[in-house]
Amino acid sequence: MRFVHITDMHITADNQPLYGLSPRGRLQRAIDCINEEFPDIAFVMMTGDLVNRGTVDEYRALKEIVASINAPHYMLLGNHDRRTAFREVFPATPMDGNGFVQFTFDVEDKHFIGMDSLDEGKTDGLLCQQRLDWLRGRLDERKGGEIFLFLHHPPLRLAGGEALAKMIFGKVRHLFFGHLHRPMHGSWQGIPMSSQFSTLHQFVYNYTTKVMLGCHEPPTFGAVNLLNGNVVINPHHFLEESARFNLRSKAAMNAPTPEDLPTLDT
């Protein structure tokens, strides 16, 4: 089976531009690509910063856009989100008994868990004891099958992250997150993890300045393939429109510039 991981959409109200880009237009292009090129996916998971300011009008705009996804889709909250406004527009989204937007679901023999790492009003996330207790209960309930975990904040410096690591080590096959506006792939405390670019603007990976730099690097979503116990993630550049060419074509091999590449029908 496969699914799509998408993150940090930062939808605005009234199609207001953000950093020179259209959040709505970018997300719609991603959805159009998913519908056209990935028609067999089991679901789409959106890992937070769904909107930019957490207003009801922004969530209404988001609702209009995600209605066009031709697959089940799930949403988690990030630091730009607000629970009350989100719940007003998406009242059917599950919550736990403490009001956090957390849920589980199964596809085939695989178990998926979404956690709420939002600490309202703060950029940094939080996994409080209530949320960790909820997760422990879900893990204890699960007997067999692979488990995959989603949240917005990267766990490396997340308050409650160390407790999370001890709880999920050896139980969770892969941890997916957002927030960084950059792809990160590796392992943390022995747990495989990954993130994707935002659908909108990106952060610049640069330690030579204290200024938080943004850029317009091409966005991606993650096309995640789960097969025979393997987890394979292909970052998909859904706005990529460069020329396609036949790798076995001598004319293509010898083209002096991209503009000289032969078309595929020649």
How confident is the model over 62-95, as pLDDT tens digits?
Answer: 999 999 999 999 999 999 999 999 999 999 999 9
CB atoms within 10 A of CB 131: 21
Task: Write down the architecture of domain 2-241 according to CATH.
Answer: 4-Layer Sandwich (3.60)
pLDDT for 90 equals: 98
Enumerate residues 6+ apart whose C-beta is below 8 A from 135.
102, 113, 115, 164, 167, 168
Work out the pLDDT band at 232, boundaries 50, 70, 90.
very high
pLDDT of residue 210: 78
pLDDT at 143: 82
Can you give the pLDDT at residue 78?
Answer: 98
Burial 203-218 (b: 16+ CB within 10 A, else e): beeeeeeeeeeeeebe
Residue 11, pLDDT score: 98
First to last CA, the chain: 36
State the pLDDT confidence band at 266, using cuts at 50, 70 and 90. Answer: low
pTM attached to this predicted model: 0.94
- Integer Cα distance of 259 and 147 in angstroms: 47
Can you give the residue ranges of every domain in the chain? Answer: 2-241
pLDDT at 158 over 60: yes
Q: Does residue 47 contact residue 77 with C-beta atoms inside 8 Å?
A: no
Instruction: Report residue 264's pLDDT band, with 50, 70 and 90 as the boundaries.
Output: confident
